Amino acid sequence: MTIQGLVAGNFLECPVHKISAKDTNKFVLLCDREQVPFVSVVEIFDEGGQTPPNEHAEAHEYFYVLSGEGVAIVGDTAIPVKSGSFFIVPPGNNHQVRNTGKGRLYVLTTMLPDEKFSDLIKSGPVAHLDEEDIRVIKGVGIGV
């Protein structure tokens, strides 16, 4: 039996990119607008890394922290985040995520609709996962 629209896989088979070579974060592209009407990624921030401030016209963006510590800046509000934290940014709100902890910050991020964010990710340079990335994303050694 085939289920139309079903998307399944393993993160080890997914493309990994940075948006630009100088960025301090990379994205494991779990699914994108070519498959579903949203984009879902595991975003990996180097120690001290951050996203540039950005906002989305129509998209809600959901963040769930898998491992690490950081701060989410939404408008003028700073939200400390750590393993198990989540926050949702409504459309039209400037936001930024910063890794303020020791080691990397791992965040599951989903944006609906995609707003061509997956195209931006795929247009950037290819990046790679190392042993630590694989261990954390698999869930081995995640602190709660």
Mean pLDDT by 10 residues, the chain (144 residues): 86 96 95 94 96 94 97 97 97 97 97 95 96 90 48
Q: What are phi and psi of 118, to 5 degrees?
A: -65, -35
Q: Which helix (H) or strand (E) holds 24?
A: none
Please report the pLDDT score of residue 5 as a whole number. 87
Please report the pLDDT score of residue 95 as a whole number. 97
CA nearest to 126, candidates 42, 28, 10, 11 = 28
Please report the pLDDT score of residue 144 as a whole number. 43
pTM of the model: 0.93
Please report the pLDDT score of residue 140 as a whole number. 58
Question: Do 66 and 39 meet the contact criterion of CB atoms below 8 Å apart?
Answer: no
Question: Beta-strand (E) ranges in the chain?
Answer: 16-17, 25-31, 39-45, 60-67, 69-74, 77-82, 86-89, 95-99, 105-112
- Can you read off the two tokens belonging to residue 16? 């990994």
| Matching CATH number, 22-138, of 3.30.830.10, 3.40.50.720, 2.60.120.10, 2.130.10.10 | 2.60.120.10
Please report the pLDDT score of residue 132 as a whole number. 95
